[in-house]
Amino acid sequence: MNEFITITIDDQEIKARPGEYIVAAARRNGIYIPTLCNMPGVHPAGSCRICTVYVNGRPMTSCTTPVAEGMEIETRSSDLEDFRRSVVELLFIEGNHFCPACEKSGNCELQALGYRLEMMAPRYPYQFPERDIDASWPKLIKDHNRCVLCKRCIRTILDEEGHHIFAFRYRGHNLQITIDPEYGKNLTDELAEKAAKNCPVGSLLYRGKHGFETPIGQRKYDKEPIGSDVEKLKKVKVS
């Protein structure tokens, strides 16, 4: 098998590794495709849909679609840009996202996507759903108001025997994340911290940590847009 295959992203030929996902191939080549539910190295969920690109003219999520020889991928078009902003807007109106009062503000990926995509205000009406804050766990606080249902906690937080600690409950508009009563009680600090870290928003908070520790101006997305790290790769390559 060849070590590399060739694909085209936005009219630019790039080399990709067989089997890798489009989003990863793009990243390595300095092309940032916005993602939210995706986490490098973790089995993709393909649920937020923000990384949708056109693959040979068809909309596909780049986090779930493996590269194939000769693939032609379009990541930038006015409708794709609009879909991305629309996804972010839908997430903002679906929950209760009070950024000024959120511990994750400045380090939040949803917020950062809003900044990058220049969302000034969502086009959709705020829903203000009634949601709980579940503070019944010894190591964690789960704030359902802020949850974007990305499944990162479900996918990444398992005990040593592979038991899932987080899970979905209900479906559709009522969908929510639950914590296993047994495993939730006995969650280790290590896993609790990891869960909070993997949460792209401020929906999972680890009790061992204080919020608002980093001053405004020094937080992750204060100065540079999300994806800048990826795009710098390209600049280095060019120069």
Q: Which of 58, 104, 133, 131 is nearest to 200 (CA)?
A: 104
Kindly determine how many residues on this chain lie close enough to bind another protein according to the rule CB under 8 A.
74
23 binds another protein (CB under 8 A): no
When binding is defined by CB under 8 A, the residue of 29, 62, 111, 156 that contacts another protein is: 111
Does residue 118 belong to the site contacting another protein (CB under 8 A)?
yes
Minimum Å gap between C-beta 138 and another protein is 17
Taking the complex as a whole, the smallest distance from the CB of residue 101 to another protein amounts, in Å, to: 6
Q: Is 173 in the site for another protein (CB under 8 A)?
A: yes
Distance between CA atoms of 146 and 92, rounded to whole angstroms? 9
Q: What is the DSSP letter of 9?
A: E
Q: Does 130 bind another protein (CB under 8 A)?
A: yes
Q: How far is CA 98 from the centre of its chain?
A: 18
Diameter of the chain by CA atoms?
A: 54
Q: Pick one of 82, 135, 186, 229: the residue that binds another protein (CB under 8 A).
A: 82
SS (H, E, C) 93-143: HHCCCCHHHCCCCCCCHHHHHHHHCCCCCCCCCCCCCCCCEECCCCCEEEE
Confirm or reject binding of residue 91 to another protein (CB under 8 A). yes
Tokens of 131: 């949601």
Residue 141 beta carbon to another protein: minimum distance, rounded to whole angstroms:
16
> Smaller CB distance to another protein: residue 18 or 59?
59
131 near another protein, rule: CB under 8 A: yes
Give the one residue of 56, 124, 189, 232 binding another protein; rule: CB under 8 A: 124
Based on the shown chain and the rule CB under 8 A, indicate whether residue 17 belongs to the binding site for another protein.
no
- Lookup result for tokens 């390595």: 28
In the list 4, 40, 163, 209, the residue contacting another protein (rule: CB under 8 A) is: 163
Question: Considering beta carbons, is residue 171 or 237 the nearer one to another protein?
Answer: 171
Footprint (CB under 8 A) of another protein, residues 180-219: 180-184, 216
User: Rounded to whole angstroms, how far apart are CA atoms 73 and 182?
Assistant: 45
**Comparing C-alpha atoms, which of 178, 198, 7, 2 is closest to residue 108?**
198
Please state the φ and ψ torsions of residue 226, each to the nearest 5 degrees. -60, 140
Among 34, 73, 113, 166, binds another protein (CB under 8 A): 166
Cβ within 8 Å of residue 135, ≥6 positions away? 141, 142
Considering only 164, 185, 232, 235, the residue that binds another protein (CB under 8 A) is 164
What is the rounded distance in angstroms from the CA atom of residue 48 to the CA atom of residue 88?
A: 9
**Among 9, 50, 67, 204, which residue interacts with another protein (rule: CB under 8 A)?**
50
User: Min. distance of Cβ 21 from another protein in angstroms?
Assistant: 11
Phi, psi of 22, deg, nearest 5: -55, -45
